[in-house]
Amino acid sequence: MTRLIAFLGLSILVAPLARAEDDWPPALPKAKSGTATLSSPEFLKVPESVAAAAEKAGAKFSVAKSPPTVHLAYHQNLGADAIKRRLWSSWGDICVASDGRVYCGIGDHGDDAGGDARCFLYRWDPKALALAQILDVNSLLPNVKPHSRFSKLHAKIDEGPDGGIYFSATLNDGNRAGKDNFHWSEQCPGGQLYRYDPKTGKSEVFANLPPPRCTATSLIDRERNLWWCNLEAGEGNALFALDLKTRKSVFQAADGTMGFNRNFALGKDGAIYFNGEGALYRCNAKSHALERMAATLGTSPGMRCSTGETAAGDIFGITHQTTQLFRLATKTSQLELLGPNWLAGSYTAVCVLSPDERFLYYLPGSHGGAVKDRTPVVQYDIARKQQKVLAFLAKVCEDELGYVPAGTYGVKLSAGGDTLYVNFNGHAADRLRPAAMKPNGFGLCAFAAIEIPAGER
């Protein structure tokens, strides 16, 4: 409905920007084919609260001289009564395929046990600047009742050596998969690995995880054609490896051998580096023996995010809880803490290494906390150990689009290192946000392609 407002003595009828109660996601201003494009010098203005926090923490960072261009699109086709779903959110890392297209996913955190949950796979086309839904993941499950449904894409989306897109869906809490209130079947006995074929547009159930296990953490070893994950819902966490050629398990560690389970890293030789109890561990690439390393992360329970191994033999990342940048030298097993990742430290679930191995990119404040610092996009210069903010996204996006980008679990770079792709959690600005939806950084997901100016990389 329109509103009557007074301006300079005149009465003017003003239509609302969107009817959020009727449709979700809301309309995106300035959008063409569903995508809005922004670039503003306001991206480069340091918020007063950030300047004060930096002074208090003794933190130093620079700001880019040229603003990026940002293309942003909402995830569409969420189904009937989408505004009433529990919590639209994105929890997993995304994939840049060899053809340049980007895959990401969201879910609704719905009634997974009872069978009323939704999660979808999307694809970004960088040439068309368009985001399209390509799969209702639960459509791959048996159409029988009662049957539980998946509510998240939490584990990593990856491209296999065969060009297929591999991913696994999970529950609100994968550790609950074995509870009596979950209803599984012979066709879907728990968590599964799926494969999407970009050539045909068809998806399939590729393999079952050991029932009723689920996973929130995975990666592909393309050279050895292995899919690695952490198994939840057992008597503790355990590494698991599946041969993508035979579709059979080649390794399953004993339950409880993995500690903090939200991240592990892949070495160039195929070794897996993971968080054990009190130290980092290495899973030997050939024997699969689990070897305790001398390296520790201090008081942190482990790596929260990590890169692949560089040509020099280093793995970079950010610790959990203590939020320190680190460098792990795989050849010597030495670990160097590089200082807080942002200001006094900010929870960060994903980081990515540039193709030339000069920079790390990340967005601090993954769990809705980014908005507190107006959603900075950070570039870390590895050689100089210096942080540079490429943009503070929140204010411009909120003012011009009515969207508040508030954190991410999915970040990747284009093959040329010129575009940073981000799958955002966020919420609508107050003028668009339904009363029942809290401004807590969740409820409205968006995908962004951030073009980094040549002079800033």
Task: Give pLDDT tens digits for 355-385.
Answer: 999 999 999 999 999 999 999 999 999 999 9
Is there a contact between 283 and 330 (Cβ–Cβ < 8 Å)?
Answer: no
Q: Is the pLDDT of residue 21 over 70?
A: no
The average pLDDT across 25-39 equals 96
d(CA 210, CA 259): 20
Strands (E), 126-201: 130-136, 158-159, 165-167, 192-197
d(CA 377, CA 455): 16
Six-digit token string for 210: 């050991």
Q: Which residue, chain included where needed, has tokens 């355990």?
A: 238
Helix (H) or strand (E) holding 424: strand 419-428
Coil, strand or helix: which one is 448?
A: strand
Q: Quick one: pLDDT at residue 22?
A: 53
Q: Distances in Å between the alpha carbon of 28 and those of 33, 37, 86, 319, 398?
A: 10, 11, 22, 36, 11
Q: Is the pLDDT of residue 73 over 60?
A: yes
From the centroid of its chain, how far is CA 184?
27
Q: Quick one: pLDDT at residue 436?
A: 86
Six-digit token string for 410: 């999915």
Q: Quick one: pLDDT at residue 7?
A: 35
Q: Is the pLDDT of residue 12 over 80?
A: no
Label residue 82 exposed, middle or buried (CB < 10 Å: 0-12, 13-18, 19+).
Answer: middle
Average pLDDT, the chain: 95
Q: Quick one: pLDDT at residue 202?
A: 98
Instruction: Calculate the dihedral angle through the C-alpha atoms of 43, 49, 51, 52, rounding to the nearest 10 degrees.
Output: 180
Q: Quick one: pLDDT at residue 335?
A: 96
Which residues have C-beta within 8 Å of that of residue 92, sequence separation ≥ 6? 105, 152, 153, 154, 155, 156, 157, 167, 216, 409, 410
pLDDT (tens digit per residue) in 75-99 = 999 999 999 999 999 999 999 999 9
Maximum distance among all Cα pairs of the chain, rounded to whole angstroms: 81
pLDDT (tens digit per residue) in 432-455 = 999 888 999 999 999 999 999 999
Q: Is the pLDDT of residue 236 over 70?
A: yes
CA neighbor of 227 nearest in space, from 211, 239, 244, 215: 244
